[in-house]
Amino acid sequence: MGIRDQGRLVAMAGERLKPGNFTEVSGVCTHPDYRGRGYARFLMRVVARRILARGEQPFLHSYSSNMAAIALYAALGFEPHQTITATVIRKA
């Protein structure tokens, strides 16, 4: 789902992975010119409520350096569960 300003998409959030009874809240982003207006918070609440209404458990992920996102997620009641380290290996 998204928020538009004069036809231009300025914020969005949705669902992606569904492992078992869990559903990932994904694609949460706001255009830099529109940050600070509560759009991501509003969209995440709508998406999470829809997931909960189906009897599923919402979850999400974030880079550990994305402190703004982590603060928003915590304010919405999400709690850290696990830290994962990913390594990208490329062919030389």
Q: Is residue 83 part of a domain?
A: no
What is the per-residue pLDDT for 84? 85
Give pLDDT, residue 68.
86
Domain assignment present for 81: no
pTM, two decimal places: 0.81
Question: 90 in a domain, yes or no?
Answer: no
DSSP character string of 23-89: EEEEEEEE-GGGTTSSHHHHHHHHHHHHHHHTT-EEE----TT-HHHHHHHHHTT------------
CATH number of the domain where residue 17 is located: 3.40.630.30
Which domain does 16 fall in, by range? 2-75
**pLDDT tens, position by position, 10-68:** 999 999 999 999 999 999 999 999 999 999 999 999 999 999 999 999 999 888 888 98
